[in-house]
Amino acid sequence: MRTSPRSLILGLLLCLAFPVAGFGSAYNARPKLVVIIVIDQFRGDYLERYRDQWGEGGFRLLLEHGADFTDCNYDYANTRTAPGHATLLTGAYSNGHGIMANEWWDAQKKATVAAADDDQTKLVGIPGGGPGASPHNLLADTLGDELKLATQGKSRVFGVALKDRASVLPAGFAADGAYWIDRASGAWITSTYYRNELPKWAQDFNSNKREEKYLNQEWKDSNGNVLRTTKPVEGKAGNFYDLVGSTPLANDYEFEFARELITYEKLGNGPATDLLILSLSANDILGHKVGPDSPEMQAMALATDRQLAGFFEFLGHQIGLANIWIALSADHGLAPLPKIAAGLRLPAANITSDKIRAQVNSGLSARLAHPAEYVKEFDYPVAWLNPEAFAAVKVSEQDAERDVGEALKQAGLRAYYTRFQLERGDAPNTELGLKYLHSYSPLAGWYVLGVPPPFTIGFVGGTDHATPYNYDTHVPLAFYGLPFQTGTYRTRAEPVDLVPTLASLLGINAPTHSIGRVLTEMLVPARRGATTSNGGPDRNSPAVEGRNFWPASDGFISTKTRAARMRTTTLQVGGPR
Ligand SMILES: [Zn+2]
């Protein structure tokens, strides 16, 4: 059809009259794909600590061309992997999503159960797969679930991690797939909750024995020093998770799988916004062994930076960075190795939680004149009680939890909160009290949350997280994409702010129990002069340190223009080819 001169002129006039028509809001340009990268154990200070060592296109893509929140802290005490991943994608704390630990004592089953375990399902992808995993313990839905609801299932949602809990919980109920590995063989698996057999591409991935190239490797630092090897010990059956897990090779393996998933599932090519949650597990496995201040952890962080750069480059070529939003965070931080902290004269110690559990049990056995295993599980600083043992001596939950709490104090913990007490909202009106109210879950039986002294670790020979202290709660929170105004933001933020912000921009509901706020300070103003008097992003705000990636005069940048610039960024990320 030919365009008449009259309609051309009319069109031109319309364009002049409404220069932002169609771009009234920068956010109307829905991305093709949202990628949320969760680094399993990455403390909020690392991005700053190694800032001058980051290469191009990895963390710098977010730090220099995205929005970086430097002061993001979890506002709860149980800073563990399962709660952290659930928090990030539900926008709620444990009192909303129900996941308060990785594992807990199940009095009915008389067994320890893990957060994503589901006996009603079977593992898929390994012969004779045992009990599988599902999000059935979640009491709240996720960003992916809301995307699914808003698009009547057209959005596609996937989770990938080495650990089931880090893949299944953030992906949510309606996810198309969640993948993790069989720890022994390294094979990628899923559960019958999602499907009865692996998709062809994942079967091929496993049958090509891709995991083998990560074995018998040396991990070297930039000076060529061998930090670790993935060579199985002679005469011992190699366990992929143990051998490869604590090296950057494990993250390479995850990225390789994620690339295949994006390619074969055609993520970013559908009729609606797709979502991928990728949790990098290797950082956590190593961190527990060597602590946050070791040269190995630095080498791991630098390797993660290069791996991210490679992945972002792949996304740029595959889908175009202008079509993608990226968010980066972590499920928790990490305490320094006690010997490092003690060396600086901070009060710090490795203690043995088995000893504390034995001490509590023998104390209670004497006091109640009835020997029993009153505390079944003690994952420092949290104790799970054995209701049966207390019932035998006619002690109520309230009294049982108080008795255990007092025994924990005797054993050196500073204070305690009981399940009974938290269920009633009975906590002091303090910052710490609120953190423990946020840690409550009606799941997980009878329990007592001990308040540990800072810098105490519940086992010997490494370090841990799971406290309300800043070294555990401080995590990165950074965004890259068209709606996000480049800058360093020192305003207070929480991981629960991630999904309500994305939901708002996507024009969908936030997850059911989301309590976070929309991080409005980082959003590109929707219209000229709509937000600040000078018509541009407020670069004078003391909380924002603009990186000047967009010219300062560019008060309003249309989606089209920004998209064009993003493509330029894509090229820069790619670098010389
Ligand atoms: Zn973790």
Distance 45 CA to ligand 1 centre (A): 16
Distance 282 CA to ligand 1 centre (A): 10
* Polymer length in residues for the chain: 577
Distance 80 CA to ligand 1 centre (A): 6
Nearest CA to 243 out of 181, 334, 197 is that of 181
DSSP H helical ranges for 349-480: 353-367, 387-392, 397-410, 419-423, 431-437, 470-473
- Per residue in 378-396, pLDDT tens? 999 999 999 999 999 999 9
- Per residue in 504-542, pLDDT tens? 999 999 999 999 999 999 999 875 433 333 333 333 343
Distance 469 CA to ligand 1 centre (A): 16
Distance 485 CA to ligand 1 centre (A): 29
Cβ atoms of residues 178 and 168 within 8 Å: yes
**124-152 average pLDDT score:** 95
The pLDDT score that the predictor gives to residue 236 is 78
Given a cut of 60, whether residue 563 has pLDDT beyond it is: no
- Per residue in 484-496, pLDDT tens? 999 999 999 999 9
Say what percent of the chain tops pLDDT 70.
86
Distance 49 CA to ligand 1 centre (A): 20
Sequence-ordered list of residues with C-beta below 8 angstroms from that of 341, at least 6 positions apart, any chain: 335, 348, 455
Distance 403 CA to ligand 1 centre (A): 30
Distance 269 CA to ligand 1 centre (A): 31
Distance 6 CA to ligand 1 centre (A): 63
Distance 180 CA to ligand 1 centre (A): 14
- Cα–Cα distance between 183 and 444 in angstroms, integer? 25
What is the average pLDDT score of the chain?
88
CA neighbours closer than 13 Å in the CB half-sphere of residue 67: 26
pTM: 0.88
Residue 554 tokens, joined: 């560019």
Distance 288 CA to ligand 1 centre (A): 10
More confident residue, 527 or 214: 214
Query: pLDDT class for 150, splitting at 50, 70, 90?
Result: very high
The CA angle 552-555-556, to the nearest 5 degrees, is: 135
Distance 402 CA to ligand 1 centre (A): 29
Distance 164 CA to ligand 1 centre (A): 12
Distance 537 CA to ligand 1 centre (A): 36
- Cα–Cα distance between 452 and 449 in angstroms, integer? 9
Say what percent of the chain tops pLDDT 90.
82
Distance 413 CA to ligand 1 centre (A): 23
Cβ atoms of residues 100 and 94 within 8 Å: yes
With tokens 């399940």, the residue in question is 419
Distance 247 CA to ligand 1 centre (A): 16
Distance 433 CA to ligand 1 centre (A): 23
Query: pLDDT class for 13, splitting at 50, 70, 90?
Result: very low
Cβ atoms of residues 26 and 280 within 8 Å: no
- Per residue in 223-280, pLDDT tens? 899 999 999 888 777 799 999 999 999 999 999 999 999 999 999 999 999 999 999 9
Distance 499 CA to ligand 1 centre (A): 19
Distance 480 CA to ligand 1 centre (A): 23
Residue 327 tokens, joined: 């968010």
Distance 42 CA to ligand 1 centre (A): 9
| Helices 397-410, 353-367: inter-axial angle, 10-degree rounding | 120
- Cα–Cα distance between 297 and 132 in angstroms, integer? 32
With tokens 């999000």, the residue in question is 135
Given a cut of 90, whether residue 545 has pLDDT beyond it is: no
Query: pLDDT class for 6, splitting at 50, 70, 90?
Result: low
Distance 43 CA to ligand 1 centre (A): 11
Sequence-ordered list of residues with C-beta below 8 angstroms from that of 320, at least 6 positions apart, any chain: 32, 566, 567, 570
The pLDDT score that the predictor gives to residue 525 is 86
Distance 15 CA to ligand 1 centre (A): 51
Query: pLDDT class for 29, splitting at 50, 70, 90?
Result: low
Distance 245 CA to ligand 1 centre (A): 13
- Give 547: exposed, middle or buried? Use CB within 10 Å, 0-12, 13-18, 19+: middle
- Cα–Cα distance between 270 and 293 in angstroms, integer? 43
| Helices 81-90, 143-150: inter-axial angle, 10-degree rounding | 30
CB atoms within 10 A of CB 134: 22
Distance 169 CA to ligand 1 centre (A): 13
The pLDDT score that the predictor gives to residue 380 is 96
- Per residue in 416-462, pLDDT tens? 999 999 999 999 999 999 999 999 999 989 999 999 999 999 999 99
Distance 316 CA to ligand 1 centre (A): 28
Distance 101 CA to ligand 1 centre (A): 11
Given a cut of 90, whether residue 306 has pLDDT beyond it is: yes
Distance 464 CA to ligand 1 centre (A): 10
Cβ atoms of residues 283 and 300 within 8 Å: yes
| Helices 164-171, 81-90: inter-axial angle, 10-degree rounding | 20
